[in-house]
């Protein structure tokens, strides 16, 4: 059965390609101080701050600014809930112990100002986050296929290579569309673009969330498989190829050759792993279309691994 390529949605949900901004410890400490300051001032020196109480309570906006920047609307809502709870609780507590009767007009003014300013902060932070996510998308995704681009794959590979040096398995799969130039020349660039999108669809369907498959350049694609062995990578490749055979390309089916390489202790940089996968791919291309080769480490490396 032939599967049609999915139509690309005109509205795509923005995502954090490099991860959501994390709130640093100093921002948390500053927010806590901003919450405690008006509480202590209202209890310890209420007469001193009487003329400036509205401004003192507006210190509760500091957590709103911090959480809005790092968490967007959700952060604003959290800060708003905490601020209202602290403000109302303090005023009720002071009234219950007979310390003083709360000034309702001041209380309402603080609440209104706090809500309005917090909402404004939320709107600005939401716009900021949307623009940042859009910028990340432009910088880190391939426009034609929607896959991660070379830069994003490279960033991921560097991170996973560092983890592999600490002992976590890592396999790199290098895909290349067979005779793509002839396919492109014979069927036209539109058909070539469709073929690239077909490969991207097959890869995205079978790449786990913890891994990444991206367009490395031209008709070449790279899959970074973390915590994977060669056997698991072979299963992944077979599933990708099976999916590609099911994709209904208007100009006819295509095949891919693949080169695999697993991380070896003697490798010093991601370039070594890429070079190994590229060498395996070169052997696969020489063997004919739809071929696959696994890079074999040098005998000395294999001997060291087998040793005590």
Is 194 assigned a catalytic role? no
H/E element, 171: strand 170-177
Cα dihedral 183/188/189/193 (nearest 10): -60
Locate 112 and state its tokens. Answer: 């209104």
Alpha-carbon distance of 246 to 1, in angstroms, equals 6
Contacts 24+ apart (CB under 8 A), 162-170: 163/226, 164/263, 165/263, 168/226, 168/227, 169/226, 169/227, 169/228, 169/229, 169/262, 169/263, 170/224, 170/225, 170/226, 170/227, 170/228, 170/262, 170/263, 170/273
Burial call 181-208: b when 16+ CB within 10 Å, e when fewer: eebbeebeeebbebbbbbbbbbbbbbbe
Locate 233 and state its tokens. Answer: 């990578």
Locate 17 and state its tokens. Answer: 């390609």
The single residue of 194, 219, 238, 271 carrying the catalytic annotation is 219
Angle between helical axes of 61-96 and 104-140 (0-180°, round to 10): 150
Largest CA-CA distance found in the chain, in angstroms, rounded: 90
Per the DSSP assignment, residues forming a β-bridge with 83 are: none
Q: Which of 119, 136, 138 is nearest to 61 (CA)?
A: 119
- How far is residue 136 CA from its own chain's centroid? 9
Give the active site residues. Answer: 219
């Amino acid at each position: 059965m032939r599967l049609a390529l999915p139509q690309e949605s005109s509205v795509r949900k923005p995502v954090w390609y490099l991860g959501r901004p994390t709130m640093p410890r100093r921002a948390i400490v500053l927010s806590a101080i901003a919450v405690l300051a008006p509480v202590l001032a209202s209890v310890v020196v209420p007469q001193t701050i009487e003329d400036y109480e509205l401004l003192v309570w507006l210190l509760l906006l500091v957590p709103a600014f911090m959480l809005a920047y790092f968490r967007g609307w959700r952060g604003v809502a959290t800060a708003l809930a905490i601020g209202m709870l602290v403000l109302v609780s303090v005023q009720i507590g002071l009234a219950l112990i007979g310390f003083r009767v709360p000034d309702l007009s001041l209380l309402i003014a603080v609440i209104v100002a706090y809500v309005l300013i917090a909402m404004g902060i939320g709107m600005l932070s939401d716009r900021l986050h949307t623009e940042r996510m859009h910028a990340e998308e432009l910088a880190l995704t391939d426009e034609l296929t929607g896959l991660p681009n070379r830069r994003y794959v490279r960033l991921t590979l560097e991170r996973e290579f560092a983890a592999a040096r600490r002992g976590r398995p890592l396999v790199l799969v290098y895909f290349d569309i067979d005779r793509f130039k002839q396919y492109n020349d014979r069927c036209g660039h539109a058909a070539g673009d469709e073929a690239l999108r077909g490969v991207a669809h097959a890869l995205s369907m079978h790449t786990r969330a913890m891994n990444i498959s991206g367009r490395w350049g031209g008709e070449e694609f790279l899959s970074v498989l973390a915590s994977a062995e060669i056997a698991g990578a072979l299963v992944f490749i077979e599933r990708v190829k099976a999916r590609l055979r099911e994709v209904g390309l208007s100009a006819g089916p295509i095949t891919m050759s693949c080169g695999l390489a697993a991380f070896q202790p003697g490798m010093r940089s991601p370039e070594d792993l890429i070079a190994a996968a590229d060498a395996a791919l070169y052997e696969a291309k020489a063997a004919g279309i739809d071929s696959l080769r696994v890079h074999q480490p040098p005998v000395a490396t294999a001997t060291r691994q087998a040793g005590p």
